[in-house]
């Protein structure tokens, strides 16, 4: 399974990513988590990325692409992986395609987690207090949602045209949403 999860901030992607990755025994590769780890430990990458992250803007593609391809080169990702938060725009998606093609690999599926827009802002702002993320203030949240709409949402068409996109209704309990996502993937497995 080589999976990409798409969904705006607040769609519960991270939680679902962990569950799906555990189910298939594949690494959960979250670019947001890797970037935050770099910021915390003060690496060069973290220093370069921090200002973008604090504004809710995308970190430059070349930094993120390199970081992801490096991670996908690790042994545990050879049989599959789940990308959470990457790609975030069409340029990254094209780079990912080229990278996988060079490795004679391809994506199995892209799952899009759907939540009505007005519920998203509420969910993301609620998370600010819980996790103390510096990019969860109201203005930044609005920017992150806008960045998703303008830069990331076009990936739905990009992957839709390739027949890879599957929508998952992400309203409901964590268990319900997981069950829907796993049902989609089980359907793909039975086809292959
Ligand atoms: P996330 O936890 O996925 O919401 O990511 C948190 C922040 O990390 C984003 O707001 C971006 O600043 C940065 N980030 C994460 N993934 C990417 C990516 N694929 N491309 C560019 N920036 C990213």
Read off the pLDDT of residues 86-129 as tens digits, 9 standing for 90 and up: 999 999 999 999 999 999 999 999 999 999 877 887 777 776 66
pLDDT number for residue 108: 97
Contact 95, 61 (CB under 8 A): yes
Tens digit of each residue's pLDDT (9 = 90 or more) over 74-88 = 999 999 999 999 999
Mutation to probe ligand 1, out of 71, 85, 142 (largest number of atoms < 8 A from CB): 85
Q: Which of 32, 87, 110 to mutate to test the pocket of ligand 1 (most atoms within 8 A of CB)?
A: 32
Please tell me the predicted confidence (pLDDT) of residue 133: 62
**Does residue 56 have its Cβ closer than 6 Å to ligand 1?**
yes
Is pTM beyond 0.75 here?
yes
What tokens were used for 129? 């207090």
Residues 6+ apart with CB under 8 A from 79: 26
Query: What stretches in the chain show pLDDT beneath 50?
Result: none
**77 Cα: distance to centroid of ligand 1 (angstroms):** 20
Minimal-distance CA residue to ligand 1 atom 12: 53
């Amino acid at each position: 399974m080589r999976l990409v999860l798409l969904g705006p901030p607040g769609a519960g992607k991270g939680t679902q990513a962990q569950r799906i990755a555990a189910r298939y025994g594949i690494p959960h590769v979250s670019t947001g988590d890797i970037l935050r780890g770099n910021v915390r430990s003060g690496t060069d990458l973290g220093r370069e990325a921090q200002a973008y992250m604090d504004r809710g803007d995308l970190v430059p593609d070349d930094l993120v692409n390199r970081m992801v391809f490096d991670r996908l080169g690790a042994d545990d990702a050879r049989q599959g992986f789940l990308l959470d938060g990457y790609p975030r725009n069409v340029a990254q998606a094209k780079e990912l395609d080229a990278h996988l093609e060079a490795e004679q690999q391809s994506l199995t599926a892209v799952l899009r987690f759907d939540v009505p827009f007005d519920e998203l802002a509420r969910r993301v702002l609620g998370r600010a207090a819980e996790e103390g993320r510096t990019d969860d203030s109201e203005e930044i949240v609005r920017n992150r949602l806008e960045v998703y709409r303008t830069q990331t949402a076009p990936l739905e068409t990009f992957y839709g045209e390739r027949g890879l996109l599957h929508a998952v209704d992400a309203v409901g309990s964590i268990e319900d949403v997981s069950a829907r996502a796993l049902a989609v993937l089980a359907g793909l497995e039975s086809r292959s």
